[in-house]
A and B are shown apart, each in its own frame.
Chain A
Amino acid sequence: MNPLYSSLSQIKIDLESRKTDCISLVKHYLSNIEKKKHLNAFLEVYAEEALQQAALVDEKIKNKTAGRLAGMVIALKDVLCHKGHKVSSSSKILKGFTSLYSGTAIERLLNEDAIIIGRTNCDEFAMGSSNENSAYGNVKNGLDETKVPGGSSGGSAVAVQIDMCLASLGTDTGGSIRQPASFCGVIGIKPTYGRISRYGLVAYASSFDQIGSFTHSISDCSLLLEIMSGADDFDSTASSKAVETYSTKLNFNRKAKIAVFSDCINHPGIDIEIKSRTLNYIEELKSAGHEIEFIDFPYLDYLVPTYYVLTTAEASSNLSRFDGIRFGFKSENAVDLESTYKRNRSEGFGEEVKRRIMLGTFVLSAGFYDAYYTKGQKVRRLIKEKTEEILSRFDFILTPTTPTTAFGLGEKSDDPIAMYLADIFTVQAPIAGIPAITLPLFQHSNGMPYGLQLMAGSFKEAELLAFSAELMK
């Protein structure tokens, strides 16, 4: 489905010429949200507030005092804190919880006059690859309602796919932006770890989590990134490295040097059509003069296990604060201190979250710590070093974003291991901390879109975006 506008620059032209205004834009998106309500992409829509904000921004545009995001209507994944608004991480345990503060990235968007239209559904605590783990029901893919949108940021992907907003924010821990973007046919980026402050992002796995965006255009992707990025007093892991003006550097006027992992392209789990189309595309890039080399990546089979050992360890600790004592779900069956913890958490968390808390608690336990956590850390370092070494010789690593197109609702929900393997190509970037983007370049004969993933060296977002813009032309 074609969006009314596919970039803010298009909108700005029409705002300038008074062909449209922010109120009309918000009304357009609200009407799409209403029409496609059954997709369950939004958990809450701020219709009144968005219209009020639109009126304010229209006034600012008239007075020529509007910020750089004036005219951009965005949706937030339900793991991002927005002052005075609910945030539930799609979990029963946070049902009704209102955030007392706004996360740094959200504040930076609001300062530039973005209009927030609502919060989107996702897998509970961002744990999942199909958006079937939400306490508030699954999300359907807007292109085929029998299919999943991917996850965990499924609602944010569908919101952009179906033109319920111009852009949306998601979070990516192992592929939670790029995989649904691929399944839904939009652009999704996961920046370098530390590029965007995590303050106000409800943590899943602290050393992996990053905020990123869903957009139709590279220009919007770049603009959002440059606005949200940069040092933050509230996040010591946010990098103080200077932020480039990515949106003004979108010309890639040289030939790229690209690495492709042979084992990745020849992976037994990969869809045959995705494989052949990706290989064809590689040939096209070669003909365009780019240099492509097939190389071996020795740790491919260790990516998913490393990811699950380390992320679940961090998650088991990060989710300890959800005990129902100071805020959140309180079970009626809690009668004393011990049952308060047991009942609130057993009844408040969903199955997948409990599975990961148990797994993470196990890998950190005395007697197992070295065999799992310590080893996981060592393997992570090896993967990171090897990836960095490759990216010192190549500009980019190219892979399909996902081994398949969007699968059917319920198809994998009983098989967590099959579900985990949906992340096989996307977990490398967060393990190594590097930026990665998925571009909606392909259409499968089954009618569903799928993406091409590019990874670049740490803080090489400018090159990554410029080359992406080149490929999207």
Chain B
Amino acid sequence: MSHNDKYEAVIGLEVHVQLLTKSKAFSSDATEYGAPPNTQVSVITLGHPGTLPCYNKKALEFAVKIGLATNCSIRKENQWARKNYFYPDLPKGYQITQHTTPLCTAGFLVLKMEGYENKIGITRIHMEEDAGKSMHDQDPYFTLIDLNRAGIPLIEIVSEPDLRTADEAYTYVSEIRKIVRYLDICDGNMEEGSMRCDANVSVRLKGAEEYGQKVEVKNMNSIRNVKRAIEHEIIRQIDLIEKGERVDQDTRSFDALKGTTTSMRSKEAANDYRYFPEPDLPPIIVSEEYVQKVKSEMPSLPEQLKQKFISLGLSDYDASVLTEEKEIANYFMAVCNGTKNVKAAVNWVMGPVKSFCNEQAISISEFLIPAKTISELISMIDEGGMNFSIASQKLFPELLKNPSANPKQLAEGMNLIQQSDEGLILKYIDEALAKFPEKVAEFKGGKTGIASLFMGEVMKLSKGKADPKLTNKLLLQKLDS
């Protein structure tokens, strides 16, 4: 679209992340996904008269982690607030959240885009509880309500309107997902709703100071759909402006089948949430010592690992791929623990291991061959007991069938260990040369390219196990003598 040069989009994202705590934000009810409806609901979740909330310390720890991972400052004195509204899946008639004192503020994430970087400000991250789930399509007459989700701890990550393209939004959400997975605080599964994203989108003429009219887009249940929805919304708004029409302040829902957004409600009839400090919960004091303790227990983040891998000699590309998922990075590091040959470790993890996982559509956490075994394979190759192609094409498939096997024993059993006994190899060479005396003469006459013929014969005689490097050396010595 040629309008791309004329207009610029301004995008801010609100990402809700369900925290993987065992119990709910303000009660001891379980949080397991997929339990039968309304089975993880005590009197506290149900909002029965006389019940009170008690906050989950694990949820606070998780929230501090994401704050630190996104370079935020962590607030010392945190007040809970009530957000009041009526809806049947909100049992108390208010949501416990944070209003004027979010736990994390003023952070940022640097997005590495193709050819440039963009630093995206994080306005705030606050803690809150989820509402229940209303299902409007399960029964012809009734809306069904499942309160298992009610009270599950959430954090909301609010970005500054620093994003300019749908691709940047895609990268930003991917980055957030990668971080929460690394921190092990959320499975990042947008399809199941454990991570949700709302986008505030507006467009303006390039170079303009003022923002255009903002539109909120909801119901994007995958990162790809975040991108599609924003792309559509940008075009829709530019078209309106080009036609001389007004962009209305609006909340719109993304339809993944049609790829379009439709109006849900006009913001003019906005709810007055009557926020006020939650009197049932004293403020949480987050001390500097606590923050330091959480920080010291944090796992490495993707960017830190990537830099570490680069310093080990990996290319930027390899380091990026290996840190895409925490489990792959961990597997790679575990392989490296058993060998000094980092290059070989990269080749194994990004080659046979990753290919197998991709073919089987499994995650590396379901991959059964221990990293230690891969390290041993690398050592066997380095010590000359086997070459890469035999290891990857013959031994590796057997290991997949029998993941706990000792690779050396297995290789011996399969008769795959390379022959590096000089005497034996010389015997094969002699046999091979004896078989083709006229070819030996041709070689000595200057047709040196013919060496590969002898090489092939030695390999045939040794059933492929002769160490190729050693054989080559000995063969040339023999022919030159």
Contact = CB atoms under 8 A, between A and B. Distances in A.
Interface of A: 79-81, 87, 89, 94, 97, 99-101, 103, 198-203, 205-207, 233-237, 313-314, 316-317, 319-323, 325-327, 337, 341, 361, 364-366, 369, 373
B47 A325 contact: no
Given A199-B51, A237-B280, A326 B91 contact: yes
A222 B94 CA distance: 37
Contact of A317 (B52, B88, B276): B276
Q: Which 9 A-B pairs have the closest CB atoms?
A: A320-B93, A206-B279, A364-B274, A207-B279, A202-B49, A321-B47, A81-B50, A200-B50, A202-B50
B54 interface: yes
B34 to A, nearest CB: 23
Interface in B34-54: 43, 46-54
B282 interface: yes
Contacts of B420: none
Given A236-B55, A317-B276, A364-B274, A199 B92 contact: no
B86 A323 contact: yes
A233 B28 CA distance: 11
B462 interface: no
Given A237-B282, A320-B86, A341-B86, A327 B48 contact: yes
Contact of A326 (B46, B82, B86, B275): B46
Q: Is the contact region of chain A dominated by helix, strand, or loop, or is it mixed?
A: loop
B274 A199 contact: no
B194 interface: no
6 contacts: A100-B48, A198-B52, A199-B52, A236-B281, A314-B279, A325-B88
Interface residues of B, number: 27
Given A317-B93, A321-B93, A366 B272 contact: yes
Contacts of B53: 236
B50 A326 contact: no
Contact of A236 (B50, B272, B280): B280
Contacts of A100: 43, 48
Given A206-B280, A233-B54, A97 B47 contact: no
Nearest to A80: B50
A202 B47 CA distance: 11
Contacts of A337: 88
B281 A321 contact: no
B320 interface: no
Given A314-B279, A366-B272, A199 B91 contact: no
B38 to A, nearest CB: 10
A307 to B, nearest CB: 14
A323 B93 contact: yes
Nearest to A200: B50
Contacts of A373: 276
A29 to B, nearest CB: 26
Candidate in A80, A316, A320, A323 with the most chain B CB atoms within 10 angstroms: A320
User: Which of B43, B92, B279 has most A Cβ within 10 Å?
Assistant: B279
Given A94-B49, A203-B50, A317-B276, 8 more contacts: A101-B43, A200-B50, A202-B49, A206-B280, A237-B279, A316-B274, A317-B274, A326-B47
A55 B91 CA distance: 41
A101 B54 CA distance: 17
Contact of A234 (B46, B54, B84, B92): B54
Nearest to B80: A236
Contacts of B279: 205-207, 237, 314
A163 to B, nearest CB: 29
Contacts of A326: 46-47, 91
B91 A201 contact: no
Contacts of A341: 86
Contacts of A369: 274, 276
Nearest to A91: B49
Given A99-B50, A203-B50, A206-B279, A317 B84 contact: yes
A236 B282 contact: yes
Contacts of B52: 198-199, 234-237
Interface in B112-141: none
A317 B50 contact: no
A237 B49 contact: no
A5 B480 CA distance: 123
Contacts of A199: 50-52
A99 B43 CA distance: 9
Contacts of A103: 50
A236 B280 CA distance: 7
A262 B54 CA distance: 43
Contact of A321 (B92, B276, B280, B282): B92
A6 to B, nearest CB: 31
A236 B84 CA distance: 21
Contacts of B88: 323, 325, 337
B49 A321 contact: yes
B480 to A, nearest CB: 86
A320 B48 contact: no
A170 to B, nearest CB: 15
Contacts of B272: 365-366
Nearest to A328: B49
Nearest to B28: A233
A102 B281 CA distance: 21
A369 B276 CA distance: 9
Given A364-B84, A364-B274, A99 B94 contact: no
A337 B134 CA distance: 13
A156 to B, nearest CB: 17
A356 to B, nearest CB: 15
